[in-house]
Each structure stands twice: as structure tokens, then as C-alpha cells.
Amino acid sequence: MSVLQKPDKGPVIHDWRPEDPAFWGSSGKQTATRNLWISIPALLLAFAVWMVWSTVIVRLNAIGFSFTTDQLFWLAALPGLSGATLRVFYSFMVPIFGGRRWTAVSTASLLLPSIWMGFAVQDPSTSYSVFVLIALLCGFGGGNFASSMSNISFFYPKSQQGTALGLNAGLGNLGVSVMQFCVPLVITFGVFGFMGGKPQVLADGGQLWLQNAGFIWVPFIVLVTVLAWFGMNDLSSARASFSEQAVIFKRKHNWLMCWLYLATFGSFIGFSAAFPLLIKTSFPDVIALKFAFLGPLVGALVRPLGGWLADKLGGAKVTLWNFVLMILMVFGVLHFLPQNGSGGNFYGFLGMFMLLFITTGVGNGSTFRMIPVIFRTLHEKSAAGKPAAVREQALKDAGKESAAVLGFSSAMGAFGAFFIPKSFGTSMAQTGGPEMAFYMFVGFYLSCIVVTWWWYARKGAATPC
């Protein structure tokens, strides 16, 4: 095949050389862009389904259920726990099954919790254990992120991976904000008519269609599943068995990047899950759902900026200074919280939290830009001075390992969706406020500054990125 020939026709591409400028310019970029722009809405829907309980729990007792506050906290946290766990497995699925196939199947899996939730909330006799199971199944959406990022990383050259991964993740993360904005609207009227079921009657005589929180995603999930199956591609060069990918567990940098990504994405998704309830408990007179979607919105929108800045300035430099800013923003949030009998300042709190969300988004993009650079650097060093065939194989191995690390680190980061809400809950139970949790986060971010500086940002670092 000549360098100017178009990629293979059909769903499976056997010749893929994104680092070849002629190949990339003639047809590779077009193919990669098509796969990216189908991946993005698939990931957006995944995030929407994953985090939907953060809004449903606010109205669940109003329609006839009588769950305790602790039980509602668990319903918000359980999707984070199952989603993070599933990401561990999803991290390795694309090289085994192919990006097109796995994107279609994993997107279709979102139908199960969405439909089941829609029926369950209509029956006041539905047990708490059923809701627990549905919440755990919503973790399918959390798992999808690992495979999605792994897949897109194979399509782009090193110089553009930060921007591409930032777009995929940033616009995908937007699903949290889209959900938190749309659900409070669609549950107020019968979107699907008689097909959507009867409304629930509130104590004040009003009506809610809480089932729409699940049903509203169904037609979009079906559409994107079809688009993924017929519009995306599998790359044969990205195929790898689990044993080939499992080498990452021996790589020090895999675990270091998991630590950093837990601080960036873990903060984004954890704050997103906890933000509505944090507003409600800290400022009881504020209607939380009017503002809750803003944090995930700004955090998601700036994620591509983090990837772009990392492409231009270097991932380690951007990540290091971003952690400094995260610490400053946490202290800003603490300053405006109610304390010592004062009522606090809600708009000051909101503004500082918006800035904190922005830093989580920038950090999401910059840390993911670091991963492929780190592993490419390691393999290039190991193959230096060796025959061309060895160097070429080293680049392929670097791509497979970095894709696996992208997925696995996202799995570790996703545990923030569980730990941050529970940290706030524990802090409030023990001290009466969320301050203790925030101080714990500051300590964590300080450790990330040390890790980033020592291994990646300082002069003479073994793997500068």
C-alpha cells in the first residue's frame, strides 16, 4: 500500500500509520476525526447515565419513597464504585475486541439501567435493594470512559493526542452537566405521552414524571449505538491480548499516573456527584439543582484546553502548576463556607468552586497528555541505536501500553466518584461540616505536586513530558 492510498475499506483497518505525515494528511486524519466525533456522543451518554442518581435522589422521597439520608448518599455513591471497578476491566477491552465493536456494545449496555430505572421509580413498592442494583448498573456508564479513551489514543499521532483525548474526554464529561441540567426539566412534563407512564402526584398536588430521568436517554443510546457499529473502525494494529497489556502493572509510571489522575479526574467526578448535596447542606435556603450543573459544565468544557496547553507547553509543567491552583481554590471555597455561626457567602462559594472545577478540567487534559509521551519516551530510549524493525516495534508497544495505562488510570481516577461524596458525608457526620474533607484533599494535592515535579517536571527528570 502506498503512503497516499486510503485506509482499508470496511470496519477493520489493517494499515494505520498516524505518525506518517503523508498517510495522515491524505486520509488518516479524516478517518480519525470520524471515529472521534462518534465516540464523543457515546461518551457523553455514558456520563449522563453514570451520574443520573445525583439528581434522582433529590426527588425520590417526594414521590412516595421514604429512604434515609444515608441511603440516598449511597445511591449517589454506588455508581461511582461500580463504574470505577468496571473501568479496570474496560481498560483492556479495545485491543481485545476492537474499538468499533466495544463502543457499540458498551453504549447499548446503558439501555438496561435507563429502562429499569424508568419503571422502578413508577412503583412506590420498589425495594431499596432494587434501587441499589440499578445504581450499580449505572456504573456501566463509568466503565465506558476507560475503553473510549484507550480507543481514541490509537487513532492520533503523538503531537495531537493531547487535543484529541481532551476533546473526547472533555465533551464526554459534559454528559454530567447535560444530565444535571436536563433531568430537572424533563421530569416536569410527560415527554413520552401515554407511553412514558403516569405522573407521580406530589404532596402539594403537583406532578412529576421522574421516570423520564431514565427514559429520556433511551432513543439517543439506540441512535449512537447504530452510529458506532456502522460508522467507527477497528484497528488491527491495536490488537493485543490481556497478557500483552498486563505489562503495565510492572511499570512504575502506570501507578504514578494513576495517583495524579485520581487527583484531577477523581476530583472532577467526585465534586460533580457531591456538589448538589454539598450546596443543600451548606446553604439550605439555596435551590441546589439550579446551580449544580454549572460545576461539571465548566470542568468539562475546559478539559480540551488542558490537553491543548499540554501539547504546547508540556504536560508536566501544566499539571504541576495546575495542582498549585487547585490548592488555592480549595482554600477559597473554605473561606466562603458557613463557619463560627456565620451564614457564609453562597456566591463567593459558588465562584471559587467554579474555579476549582476549571482546574480539575485542565488537569484532566494535561495528565492524559502526559501518559502517551511518557511511554513513547521510555520505549524510544530502550530501542535507541537498534535496527529499524526493533524501533518500529517499540513504537507499537508504546502505543499499546499507553492505551492500557490511559484506561487503567481512568479506572483509578473514577474512584473519586465514590470517595469524595463519602468523605464529605463522613466529615459532616464527625465535625458538622465539610472542612475536614477539604483539608484532606489539600494534603493529597500537595503529594501530587511532589510526584509531578520529581519524576516529570524538574530539570534532569528521567522522563520529562
Give the strand pairing for 200-201 and 207-208.
antiparallel
Q: What angle do CA 192, 195, 201 make, to 5 degrees?
A: 75
CB 182 within 8 A of CB 36: no
- In a domain, residue 365? The reply is yes
What is the number of other CB atoms lying within 10 angstroms of the CB of residue 169? 30
**pTM of the predicted model as reported, rounded to 2 decimal places:** 0.78
Q: What angle do CA 366, 354, 261 make, to 5 degrees?
A: 30
78, 146: one domain: yes
- Above 60 in pLDDT, residue 3? no
277, 410: one domain: yes
- In a domain, residue 1? The reply is no
Checking 248-255 for CB contacts under 8 A at 24+ apart, the result is 248/401, 248/404, 248/405, 248/408, 251/375, 251/401, 251/405, 253/374, 253/375, 253/378, 253/405, 253/455, 253/463, 254/405, 254/408, 254/409
Could you tell me the three cell numbers for 108? Answer: 447499548
- Above 70 in pLDDT, residue 384? yes
- In a domain, residue 230? The reply is yes
- Which of 200, 220, 239 marks a domain boundary? 239
- In a domain, residue 205? The reply is yes
CB 401 within 8 A of CB 245: yes
252, 232: one domain: no
Look at phi and psi of residue 308 and say left if phi exceeds 0, alpha if psi is from -120 to 50, else beta.
Answer: alpha
**What residues pair up with 200 in beta bridges, in sequence order?**
208
Task: Report pLDDT for 325.
Answer: 98
Q: What letter does residue 455 receive in the DSSP assignment?
A: I
Which candidate, 56, 224, 209, 218, places its Cα nearest to that of 135? 56
Locus of grid cell 456508564: 141
Rounded to whole angstroms, the Cα distance separating 447 from 451 reads 6
Banded model confidence at residue 385, pLDDT cuts 50, 70, 90: confident
CB 269 within 8 A of CB 176: yes
Banded model confidence at residue 22, pLDDT cuts 50, 70, 90: very high
- Which of 239, 262, 289 marks a domain boundary? 239
Q: How many domains does the chain have?
A: 2
Chain-centroid distance, C-alpha 270: 10
- In a domain, residue 71? The reply is yes
- Which of 211, 239, 267 marks a domain boundary? 239
Average pLDDT of 161-185? 86
Length of the chain: 465
CB 412 within 8 A of CB 367: no
353, 324: one domain: yes
Element at 200 (helix H, strand E): strand 200-201
pLDDT in tens, 54-111: 889 888 988 989 988 778 878 888 998 999 899 888 878 888 889 999 999 999 999 9
Could you tell me the three cell numbers for 347? Answer: 456566591
Instruction: Name the phi and psi angles at 234, rounded to 5.
Output: -105, 140
Task: Report pLDDT for 298.
Answer: 92
Could you tell me the three cell numbers for 19? Answer: 505518525
Average pLDDT for the chain: 89
pLDDT in tens, 130-146: 999 999 999 999 889 88
- In a domain, residue 3? The reply is no
Rounded to whole angstroms, the Cα distance separating 254 from 414 reads 15
Banded model confidence at residue 2, pLDDT cuts 50, 70, 90: very low
Task: Report pLDDT for 8.
Answer: 61
pLDDT in tens, 439-463: 999 999 999 999 999 999 998 887 8
- In a domain, residue 4? The reply is no
Share of the chain above pLDDT 90, in %: 49
Domain that holds residue 415: 244-464
60, 130: one domain: yes
73, 149: one domain: yes
* Coil/strand/helix, residue 102: helix
Instruction: Name the phi and psi angles at 13, rounded to 5.
Output: -105, 125
